[in-house]
């Protein structure tokens, strides 16, 4: 195998883009060679602005079979270190490179899945894995026209960015693409089923729309939901951008073992089948999330594909715009009118958490190499970026914002752009000084905190807001924060007065409160980007009455503030759980989903090891009470049942679980994913490996499902027995599993109500971590760092000491170092909460 090429740097990319232009690829892949490898033949034609100069191509291959530059054959060893030097270039050049390449098992490059359901292979080339599949100028601003040819078994379905140009089932030739970056070209092939839906109107055009997935999941594709979302999204975006949908068709391709939730491959959007196609009933929150993800990827057809960032510094331009516009489309063009509740509960909290890490960075941040770009797909890039762009839209107005977007697309369609181009288009539409805005919001890192206090004076109660900002925020962007006073009226909170307060200028802000004020809620419109701390009297009033606040968005913001306080040890975990118990049955599906998402692991991670099992048992019984109280067969009952399944520890919980598996829980017993959650929960509460093995085998036979194999392995890894944990560790460490298979196994392994079960793996973790990162796969390194980090070990302080020692050795690459720093920060927070929980009894 040729060595992996050194990461492409920003400087190298700029030099190459300044030299090379008018690039075209003809890529031929022979994927009929067996399960281990494929043959890649790529012919690249391009122009050179300064003949006689030199550049290079990247290509990672097991075996170089042929290299030809401008008609001259070169020795295979000319391609060395993953780079092919191209010297003495002509004005017009043609390069042909043929190699044998290995299929991926980590989801990077050309990934291949083979199981009892057939074969599926697909590309995932973002940020810079195109050169794992074909020789390429693998950088975003060297956009090119691509033409794919695939040699495949004749029965296979094959999908790419453009329609097929021929009818030969063995040699599939696709029409050339328009100018695209290497990261969004794609193919998917294998034993796939296709459904053609009614075409989508786009101006005078009728766009073909297809749904593609593995056959056994095809029946679960929500065809009506998908089609209506696409139709509404395309109409909405065409109206906002003044540009038609850029392509001639759209395929929605659902794929196994897909690392990302979804990917904006041009006209062939890819989705993770586990996340978006379910044989079980999908909650309202799940349907809303699926619609938002689809709208996000659809927005990328304009932001990212039609106009592409020049370099990874401006990844945020792609992702933040797609995130903002997807929520605007969701709430304005679809049935999900409360879409911003989902943004508040998931996106804003993600942004806030990411911005509190020591590794926080400005939204517009320098990315030195394509590898460094991997860690830029974070809550700051997506969610903080979207929140800030929303504030820009509010500042200059929707119509001015739209005019600027239309100008931006006209100027840069089928080309590349950067932050300065966007700011210039916006500045033309407003008298506001956007240099000041970009300096305050895009080039600084960190998030401020506003802490509310109630002060009693001779004139009555006064609301005092103490403001604290990290030292990194040298310029404080002005923000407007709402403060709404509520009174209690027969057990319900009713608004009395709302004040608009300017945040950022003074360290302390004071405002008189109405005499009947029971609670004060902040940022009810979710316009400000701040961490919030409510005063103690307000929290006490919220425990029995938060659900009576009329605005779902205001409640969502309040829940976020309360959970942020809990994970910072400013609020007792028991108080938060009590709030949840008293109010959750009246919440929206999206808020319930977000809260169960953070609470499910909290009983393991935020409780001292000596009290972990007892606390989790009490939590499981609480959730079961809520399951019983929820409307039968409703959305809330199903979501709460999934959460309760994690905590099958008490006799009552284990009896409920057994009854569900025996068919005694009505519609819940028919939910395939819930059944597996229950089996995993029962396994984690028992040391009986044989009993779990019997349950797994019974379920596989009686209730077949797409996830049976991986969920069964998850359950076996969850068993509270040292040998079960050791077997799971060896399997993950063997390198024989795909990323997805490892992920499910790790989810079982890390569940341990007795921390002693995980203590033997602290040493191996720190020994193996540098080796894993040296092997070069970001996705495998990320998985080990984020999923296998020993958060649940008995001695958290020892884990911190070892982590800091490893950090001090400097043996991890930049992405691994960043993720380790974040894991240290997470564990430090957990230890603080555990200490507070222990003191609270």
Q: Which residues are catalytic?
A: 297
Helix (H) or strand (E) holding 127: none
Partners of residue 502 on adjacent β-strands:
480
Partners of residue 148 on adjacent β-strands:
27
**124 vs 107: CA distance, rounded Å:** 7
Q: Residue 652: count other Cβ atoms within 10 Å of its Cβ.
A: 14
| CA proximity to 353, closest of 569, 567, 573, 604 | 567
**Angle at which helices 315-333 and 385-396 pack, to 10 degrees?**
70
> Are residues 465 and 508 in contact, defined by beta-carbon separation less than 8 angstroms?
yes
Q: How many alpha carbons lie under 13 Å from residue 661 in its C-beta half-sphere?
A: 23
- Please give the distance of CA 333 from its chain centroid, rounded to a whole number: 23
> Are residues 57 and 31 in contact, defined by beta-carbon separation less than 8 angstroms?
no
| DSSP single-letter state for residue 539 | H
Q: Where are the beta strands (DSSP E) in 49-156?
A: 55-58, 63-69, 72-74, 83-86, 92-102, 109-115, 118-124, 144-151
- Euclidean distance between the first and the last CA atom of the chain, given in angstroms as a whole number: 58
424's CB contacts (< 8 A; 6+ apart) are none
- Please give the distance of CA 286 from its chain centroid, rounded to a whole number: 15
| CA proximity to 592, closest of 316, 372, 220, 283 | 283
CA distances from 573 to 579, 584, 605 (A): 10, 16, 11
| CA proximity to 685, closest of 727, 726, 643, 657 | 657
The helix/strand/coil state of 91 is coil
- Please give the distance of CA 210 from its chain centroid, rounded to a whole number: 24
| CA proximity to 340, closest of 524, 480, 586 | 524
The helix/strand/coil state of 610 is helix
């Amino acid at each position: 195998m040729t060595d992996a090429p050194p990461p492409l740097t920003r400087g190298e990319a700029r030099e190459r883009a300044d030299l090379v232009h008018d690039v075209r690829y003809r890529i031929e892949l022979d994927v009929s060679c067996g399960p281990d490898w494929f043959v890649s033949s790529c012919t690249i034609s391009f122009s050179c602005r300064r003949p006689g100069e030199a550049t290079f191509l990247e290509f990672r291959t097991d075996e170089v079979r042929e290299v030809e530059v401008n008609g001259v054959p070169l020795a295979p060893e000319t391609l060395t270190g993953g780079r092919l030097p191209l010297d003495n270039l002509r004005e017009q050049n043609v390069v042909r490179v043929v190699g044998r390449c290995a299929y991926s098992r980590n989801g990077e490059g050309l990934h291949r899945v083979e199981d009892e359901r057939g074969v599926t292979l697909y590309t995932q080339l973002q940020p810079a894995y195109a050169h794992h599949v074909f020789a390429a100028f693998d950088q975003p601003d060297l956009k090119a026209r691509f033409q794919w040819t695939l040699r495949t078994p004749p029965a296979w379905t094959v999908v790419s960015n453009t329609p097929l140009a021929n009818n030969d089932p063995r040699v599939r030739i696709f029409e050339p693409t328009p100018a695209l970056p290497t990261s969004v070209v794609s193919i998917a092939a294998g034993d796939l089923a296709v459904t053609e839906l009614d075409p989508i109107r786009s101006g005078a055009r009728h766009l073909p729309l297809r749904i593609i997935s593995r056959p056994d999941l095809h029946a679960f594709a929500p065809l009506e939901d998908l089609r209506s979302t696409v139709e509404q999204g395309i109409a909405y975006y065409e109206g906002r951008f003044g540009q038609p949908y850029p392509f001639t068709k759209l395929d929605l391709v659902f794929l196994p073992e897909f690392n990302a939730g979804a990917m904006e491959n041009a006209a062939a959007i890819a989705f993770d089948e586990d996340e978006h196609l379910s044989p079980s009933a999908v909650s309202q929150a799940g349907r809303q999330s699926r619609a938002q993800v689809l709208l996000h990827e659809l927005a990328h057809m304009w932001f990212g594909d039609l106009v592409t960032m020049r370099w990874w510094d401006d990844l945020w331009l792609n992702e933040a715009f797609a995130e903002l516009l997807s929520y605007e489309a969701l709430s304005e063009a679809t049935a999900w009118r409360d879409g911003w509740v989902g943004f508040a509960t998931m996106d804003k909290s993600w942004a806030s958490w990411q911005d509190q890490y020591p590794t926080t960075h400005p939204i517009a941040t320098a990315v030195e190499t394509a590898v460094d770009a991997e860690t830029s797909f974070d809550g700051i890039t997506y969610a903080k970026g979207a929140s800030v762009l929303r504030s820009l839209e509010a500042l200059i107005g929707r119509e001015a914002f739209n005019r600027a977007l239309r100008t931006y697309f006209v100027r840069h369609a089928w080309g590349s752009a950067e932050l300065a181009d966007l700011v210039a288009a916006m500045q033309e539409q407003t008298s506001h000084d956007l240099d000041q805005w970009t300096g305050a919001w895009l080039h600084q890192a960190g998030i401020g905190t506003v802490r509310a206090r109630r002060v009693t004076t001779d004139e009555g109660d006064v609301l005092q807001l103490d403001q604290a900002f990290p030292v990194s925020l040298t310029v404080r962007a002005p923000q407007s924060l709402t403060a709404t006073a509520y009174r209690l009226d027969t057990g319900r909170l009713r608004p009395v007065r709302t004040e608009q307060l300017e945040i950022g200028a003074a360290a302390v802000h004071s405002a008189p409160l109405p005499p009947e004020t029971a609670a004060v809620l902040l940022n009810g419109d979710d316009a400000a980007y701040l961490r919030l701390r409510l005063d103690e009297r307000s929290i006490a009033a919220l425990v029995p009455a938060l659900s009576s606040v009329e605005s779902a968005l205001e409640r969502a913001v309040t829940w976020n503030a309360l959970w942020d306080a809990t994970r910072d040890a400013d609020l007792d975990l028991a108080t938060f759980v009590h709030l949840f118990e008293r109010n959750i049955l009246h919440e929206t599906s999206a808020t319930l989903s977000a809260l169960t998402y953070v609470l499910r692991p909290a009983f393991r991670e935020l409780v001292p090891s000596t009290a972990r099992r007892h606390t989790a048992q009490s939590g499981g019984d609480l959730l079961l009470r809520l399951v019983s109280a929820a409307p039968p067969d409703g959305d809330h009952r199903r979501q709460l049942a999934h959460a309760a399944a994690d905590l099958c520890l008490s006799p009552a919980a284990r009896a409920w679980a057994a009854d569900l598996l025996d068919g005694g829980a009505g519609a819940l017993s028919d939910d395939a994913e819930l059944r597996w959650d229950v089996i995993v929960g029962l396994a984690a509460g028992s040391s009986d490996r044989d009993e779990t093995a019997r349950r797994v085998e019974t379920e596989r036979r009686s209730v077949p499902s797409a996830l049976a194999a991986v969920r069964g392995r998850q359950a076996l890894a969850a068993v509270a027995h040292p040998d079960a944990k050791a077997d799971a560790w060896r399997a993950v460490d063997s390198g024989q599993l795909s990323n997805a298979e490892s992920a499910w196994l790790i989810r079982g392994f890390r569940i341990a109500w007795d921390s002693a079960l995980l203590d033997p793996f602290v040493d191996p973790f720190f020994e193996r971590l540098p080796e894993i990162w040296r092997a070069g796969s970001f996705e495998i390194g990320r998985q080990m760092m984020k999923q296998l980090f020993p958060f649940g070990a008995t001695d958290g302080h020892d884990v911190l000491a070892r982590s800091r020692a490893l950090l001090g050795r400097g043996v991890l690459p930049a992405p691994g170092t960043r993720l380790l720093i974040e894991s240290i920060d997470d564990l430090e927070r957990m230890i603080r909460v555990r200490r507070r929980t222990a003191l609270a009894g």
